[in-house]
Structure 1
């Protein structure tokens, strides 16, 4: 019997490694982020600088929803792991329960009886005294695992309500942000945009390079001089959207076509912001690139952002760092879709792509010279 107990304990111990991370805490923290963003949205309505307040709110919602997605994935993985462990240990658990029940129900004289006589009985009692705390520890570990499964399932059920509130909040924040930007009149201007000249230029060119080279021809009058210099930020500029780098400078796509820029995978409806203070040189549809925003952070340098669904601001405006310039396309997943994503690998919900090109002295350069491309987005 003692040998059986020892083998049982060894088998149970081998499958009970503690989790390195706490998925439940991560999911709760994400829920707190979304609740804080909801409060932030209410406060943004009366903020003096509504554009900045709403920008911060959208970013807070995006961070909270992203954290919730990641937290639910971890919860699902942990629950699957625990259930698999418990199922693999069903026989051992049954034996454990049987042993404990035998110990509890056996009469004291039987426990003391041993074929080897009093000495064997004493040794048996000593072994039992040593093993019993181990058995109790395994029982407690089993109870903790079962309780954790119950907690994780409850978290997933409660997540639906939190996600619904968060998704409604971010939609409201995006709409309010778009309105606030359209109503903004306090930004300085470096030039007056001429839509007729722009149409003529677009109709006469076939490439992004041709359009970028002719930007000086779409203005009415002169362009005010700028002394902006972002040289000190070289290599440290944050990407204009939260995302993952799909292809780098000069990398070929599936069709074997290479482009001199970065392709970033982003989530649907993600906000795109100016990575530095810059002048909006152009914004709108261009060729087959979709909506494009061209920013001038310093003389003779352009940041070209293409693939947006919506664009904000007006050509000629000088905007501060972090100012929203547009939104990615796609449809924000509903609550059920987000919950179903909880078991999938990271990055599966980044369905939109933003193309970033950096042009210096009218020639493309590797954006990673200037941008900090964190691979985990």
Structure 2
């Protein structure tokens, strides 16, 4: 059925002149991404590096959810557009049919012998002949659009079945990833510390700056697992989580407070990853920042991520680039909420906030120096 829908959809697209990024193509792509994520989840069960495999699975599902949002939204808009077109044109077609019925040829002798009969019949015949090709073209156009509506609805039904399964499986993947991170013991340790030392530092730090500065001077055993050189890495880091900028570096908020970092909007339960190999210097709550992750990609360079709901990893471990370090907060949407928000373009899709700060030599710097394609 899926192959038949896809083949018919492509034929309709070709005949109606729609580009590849049509609602039909977007919906098909979203369904395909979910099927791919499902296959990757099954493969992750036997992967030698389950953390890496499950990280990829969660990211694949997140990409599939984003594609599904876009696909359902465009399908809904296109179906509404077609409905409006049919409503607007139905009255016009009714009037046209009424006129043509009233102008039907009359071959009776009375019509032909009437003084104006033959002339009237000739004019009517000429008018009908000139209108008929246009009416036929419009009928064919309506047939194509009706087929498109049918395809859109079939794709919606298939997408909803896939989405229902996907929403359950992405949560399963997140849970398995959290467990796999807790069980992980294969990462090299660059240093060790005690909970007492961390607690003492937290208790004596009144600001995030003071806490980060204290961490920076804690003992580190160098040489156990050297980190890649950061010399050529500036401007190349990927963002820790997809989203958009809320407040830029040192930009004042509504209360006039400035912070030396970015405030970044993200979707609920999004996976947060480290953009560069780094030592995990701290994970856990701090003041009113929520859960905080502090990474050290090089000596005298710290990356601070604050506002996570769940954090992963062992303090002192050296994390490869792309390693999951936590999840954003928020609640998982149910099927009805997801569909309503997607089709109507409403909802709190980027409701979670991540604070991103980079410090060099103990001083904050604009994160745009490090992250690729710094957003405006």
- Fold shared per TM-score above 0.5: yes
Q: Deviation string for 1:252-297 (max 9, x for gaps)?
A: 2222212111111111111000111111111111111111111111
Q: Which residue of 2 aligns with 1:336?
A: 336
Give the aligned partner of residue 267 of structure 2.
267
In the TM superposition, what are the counterparts of 1:270-349 in structure 2 within 5 Å?
270-345=270-345, 348-349=348-349
Query: Who is 1:80 aligned against?
Result: 80
CA distance in 2, matches of 1:251, 1:272: 23
Deviation at 1:234, TM superposition (A): 1.8
Aligned match of 2:71: 71
Note if 1:50 corresponds to 2:57: no
> Residues 308 and 354 of structure 1 are in contact (CA less than 8 Å); yes or no, is this contact kept in structure 2?
yes
Which 10-residue stretch deviates more, 284-293 or 145-154? 145-154
User: Displacement, 1:76?
Assistant: 1.3
| Residue deviations 1:178-223 (CA, integer Å, cap 9, x gap) | 111222222111101221111001000111110111114555x745
Residue 210 of structure 1 corresponds to 210
Once residues 292 and 337 of structure 1 are traced to their aligned partners in structure 2, the CA distance between those partners, rounded to angstroms, is 30
Any residues of structure 2 matched to 1:194-273 within 5 Å, and which? 194-216=194-216, 218-219=218-219, 222-224=221-223, 226=226, 228-273=228-273
Alpha-carbon deviation of 1:99? 4.7
SS for the counterpart of 2:232 is: helix
Pairwise CA distance, 1:117:
8.5
Contact 1:280-1:294 at 8 Å conserved across structures: yes
Deviation (angstroms), 1:48: 1.2
1:10 paired residue number: none
SS at match of 2:168: helix
Q: Give, in whole Å, the separation in 1 of the partners of 2:122 and 2:154.
A: 48
Partners in 2 of 1:326 and 1:46 — Cα distance?
23
Separation (CA, whole Å) in 2 of partners of 1:134 and 1:292: 67
Q: CA deviation at 1:107?
A: 5.2
Is this contact kept in 1: 2:245–2:375, CA < 8 A? yes
Specify the SS of the correspondent of 1:371.
coil
Is the deviation greater in 287-296 or in 150-159? Answer: 150-159
Are the counterparts in 1 of residues 302 and 360 from structure 2 also a CA contact under 8 Å?
Answer: yes
Q: Deviations over 1:127-175 (max 9, x none)?
A: 5444322211111112222332333333333333211100111111111
Give, in whole Å, the separation in 2 of the partners of 1:314 and 1:22: 46
Q: Which runs of 5+ in 2 are unaligned?
A: 1-15
For the residue of structure 2 that corresponds to 1:289, the secondary structure is coil
Q: Tell me: CA distance 1:157–1:84, structure 2 relative to 1, closer, same or farther (3 Å).
A: same
Aligned equivalents of 1:331, 1:315: Cα separation in 2: 27
Post-superposition Cα deviations, 1:295-315, rounded to whole Å, max 9, x if no partner, equal: 111221111001001111111
SS of residue matched to 1:192: coil
1:333, distance to aligned residue in structure 2 (A): 0.6
Q: Secondary structure at the match of 1:297?
A: strand
Matching residue of 1:26: 26
> 1:352 maps to what in 2?
352
Deviation at 1:108, TM superposition (A): 6.3
3-state secondary structure, aligned to 1:237: coil
Inter-partner Cα distance in structure 2 for 1:263 and 1:364: 14
SS at match of 1:372: coil
Unpaired runs of 5+ in structure 1? 1-16
**Could you tell me how far apart the structure 1 residues matched to 2:133 and 2:306 are?**
65
Contact persistence 1:312–1:326 (CA under 8 A): yes
Deviation at 1:42, TM superposition (A): 0.6
Q: Where in structure 2 are the equivalents of 1:55-204 lying within 5 Å? A: 55-99=55-99, 106=105, 125=125, 128-204=128-204
